[in-house]
A and B are shown apart, each in its own frame.
Chain A
Amino acid sequence: MSTHDGITDRVGAFGREAVSNGWTTERFAVLGLIGLVLLAFGPTFQVYLFTEFMIIALFALAFNLLYGYTGLLSFGHAMFYAGGSYGMAIVLRDASPYVAEVVGSGIAPLVTFVLGALAGVSLVLLIAVPVGWLSVRLEEIYFALITLAFGMLVFSVIIQNPGGLTRGTDGVIVTLGITEVAGMEFRLGERRTYYFLTAAIVLPSIYAIWRVVNSPFGTVCKAIRESPDRAAALGVDVTYHRWMTFVVSAAFVGVAGVLIAGLANVASPYHAHWTTSAIPVVATVIGGATFFAGPIVGAFVFLYVRWGISRFPALEAHWEFFFGLMLIGTVLYFKQGAAGGLLMLRGWLGDVRAAYDRGGTDAALDYAKESTSERLGRGDRSAEEEGGDRE
């Protein structure tokens, strides 16, 4: 019991310190973690929705390594999403009995899940290395087309049910099973358990992608996006670098694919279809491809606006309509996307607050009015469009 108290104390102390330091990163992190834990006790559907949000966020973030950071638009990333799903689902289906024999039936489901995840990511790498090597020979529209073709090639293979492995259009059912550890029994597939499992995989993955983006490797990616021939003239092997970025991006998409199979309880050919490849495109563009957090914000908008629309039965079936409009509006008028909008809003609130510090409420209101009418009057439609599309 005493060690338990020790941990609680330490967490408490860390929390108090973070709070007393003002709005620091630590404070946000603590709030976020508390939020994550609290959410687990919410309604099951909310837990499910947030789990899906985390998975799509990882999918989009990994996609954006290639799009926002390196300048290559892939319309075939679903092949890696499906690669992760199927690798995991097939291992769960076919290897479970052997694993149980080796490690005992208690912990077998968890071990199989880990093996399945590794198999999923390995399968993705197996596809991504040759496909990437070939695809990065092309640029722009042609890159989008060849990734689309490769993606649909994988889709066609899956629905052909080669060797009875993929079960054609039905897909492979995923059963996560019941794990027993130290006398405690828990169902991996139970919504809350799976939510924590997803968080435990997605959060470190996001951190890893953040490190990639800020590493020398990631800096070179951005340079290639801005000017490939300039990068080459500085000694960067552009084709090779794009290839490696492709593989890193695919690997993280594979992780998201592993997780979606467990959440949906099936590895479905739909996960490989080009319409699934469009999901990270939509989320990333709406969220803002130029910001690290853009795809996360976009995935949030994607899932929660969809959920919000589903509150209105008349609109429910037509949520794609609104995403289409948002996509068009974002590309035309506000390339920074929702993340850019949030940053702008934060800057503006800071200015309002500065005005308040100078001259109280009146000054703040004046500033708010003035800046708003200035924006609207200038005919800069970006702010309006953003707002208008949301409603």
Chain B
Amino acid sequence: MDPSLTPAFVSVSDVVIGLSLGSRLFLIAVGLSLIFGVLGVLNFAHGAFYMIGAYVTLAVTNQVIDNFWLAVLAGAVAVGAIGALIEIGTIRPLYERAEGELDQLIVTFGFVLVIHEAVRFVWGSQPYSIDAPASLAFSVSVAGSTFSAYRLFVIGAAFVVMAGLWLFITKTYFGALVRGTSSDREMASMLGVDVPKLYTAVFFLGSFLAGLGGALSAPLQSTSPALGDQVIIDAFIIVVIGGLGSMFGAFVGAMLVGLMQAIGPQFIAAGHIAIPFLAMVIVLLLRPEGLFGGIGE
């Protein structure tokens, strides 16, 4: 951000909290952006996916196996699988429709309602929380402030995911297929790419990342059925600001929104809730493609 906006009274602790919030938001936003960039689908249920990731992780650690990392993996894979099933069953029939984009948005909104209620039915309305894994249950001191090591780990994880995705999309064969299909679906299809399969794979990957975000967040926030509705709006703001379809944009947008939420209230007592929406409106009007361009960037 502009250095003039960061005077001395912004504490390191606020910055770290903002970055850790941004890291979690990144994991949900990047999948949302990826899916939109390749499939042209705006997945309203992406926040609900994130929430499922958190719940599955909680359930697995509490009832199946007392290993946090396996539970995180279970959460991410479960959400990826749910995403893939939803894509095959309810999104795929709509690609060819004239007004398909809006229909897809409405169908995925239907899943927001379904998942919200299903989660409440299974786990109830009360908030849950779990402890950070024992291996990271210590504190680290940075510039005079202390943080839980787990919080720093999540920030690191976001950077690793960003780097990994970037390598995956730009350097691998699958990534080349994804980029090709996102820019010209028909051409890709003519060149022999199995577009429906690729779409499902991308939807799986995007959902997997949302699930991962939710799973990793479980020790940092309380998990309740309202979680999905909260994060999806943040995710929309992020992908719009960063550019629908841009992974790097999702990263920068997520960190900006995370920092804004952590530090913003100190600058502007009134209006810090409104500012992200104002930013969203302005970007949509002046630069609807977002601050950062296409899928590989």
Contact = CB atoms under 8 A, between A and B. Distances in A.
- Is A in direct contact with B (CB under 8 Å) within the complex? yes
B110 A141 contact: no
B113 A324 contact: yes
Given A140-B102, A156-B274, A324-B111, A145 B117 contact: no
Interface string A52-88: 0000000000000000000101000000000000000
A11 interface: no
Contacts of B274: 153, 156-157, 160
Contacts of A108: none
A149 B229 CA distance: 14
Given A149-B284, A153-B277, A331-B103, A160 B270 contact: yes
B114 A328 contact: yes
Nearest to A225: B99
B271 to A, nearest CB: 6
Chain A contact residues: helix, strand, loop or mixed: helix
B281 A141 contact: no
Contacts of A320: 113-114, 116-117
Interface string A246-283: 00000000000000000000000000001100100100
Contacts of B93: 332
B105 interface: yes
A321 B281 contact: no
A285 B281 contact: no
A159 interface: yes
A140 B101 contact: yes
Contacts of A73: 102, 105-106
Contacts of B270: 160, 162
Nearest to A320: B113
B107 interface: yes
Interface string B84-119: 000000100110000101110111011111111110
Contacts of B288: 138, 142
Interface string A311-332: 0000001101101111110011
B277 A144 contact: no
Contact of A321 (B94, B113, B229): B113
A134 to B, nearest CB: 6
B273 interface: yes
Contacts of B237: 149
A150 B105 contact: no
Contacts of A206: none
Nearest to A227: B98
A368 to B, nearest CB: 30
Contacts of A332: 90, 93-94, 107
Contact of B109 (A146, A152, A278, A318): A278
Contacts of A324: 110-117
A148 interface: yes
A346 interface: no
Given A152-B277, A156-B274, A157-B274, A141 B101 contact: yes
Contacts of A153: 274, 277-278, 281
B233 interface: yes
Contact of A137 (B94, B113, B116, B285): B285
Contacts of A160: 270-271, 273-274
B7 to A, nearest CB: 24
B281 A146 contact: yes
Interface string A291-325: 00000000000000000000000000110110111
Contact of B102 (A138, A144, A148, A274): A144
B118 A321 contact: yes
Nearest to A275: B229
Contacts of B118: 321
B124 to A, nearest CB: 10
A326 B101 CA distance: 19
Contact of B106 (A152, A274, A281): A281
B42 A327 contact: no
A217 to B, nearest CB: 22
Nearest to B281: A149
Given A73-B102, A321-B118, A324-B113, A146 B271 contact: no
Nearest to A134: B285
B114 A148 contact: no
A148 B121 contact: no
A326 B106 CA distance: 11
Given A325-B110, A331-B106, A331-B110, A318 B121 contact: yes
A275 B116 CA distance: 13
Contacts of A152: 233, 277
Given A150-B281, A324-B113, A332-B93, 18 more contacts: A73-B106, A138-B284, A138-B288, A140-B102, A142-B284, A144-B105, A145-B42, A149-B284, A150-B277, A152-B277, A153-B281, A160-B273, A281-B106, A281-B109, A317-B120, A318-B117, A325-B110, A327-B109
27 contacts: A73-B105, A141-B42, A144-B42, A144-B102, A145-B240, A146-B281, A148-B236, A149-B236, A149-B284, A150-B277, A156-B271, A156-B274, A157-B274, A160-B274, A274-B233, A318-B117, A318-B121, A321-B121, A324-B115, A325-B114, A326-B110, A327-B106, A327-B107, A327-B113, A328-B114, A331-B107, A331-B110
Interface of A: 71, 73, 134, 137-138, 140-142, 144-146, 148-150, 152-153, 156-157, 159-160, 162, 274-275, 278, 281, 285, 317-318, 320-321, 323-328, 331-332
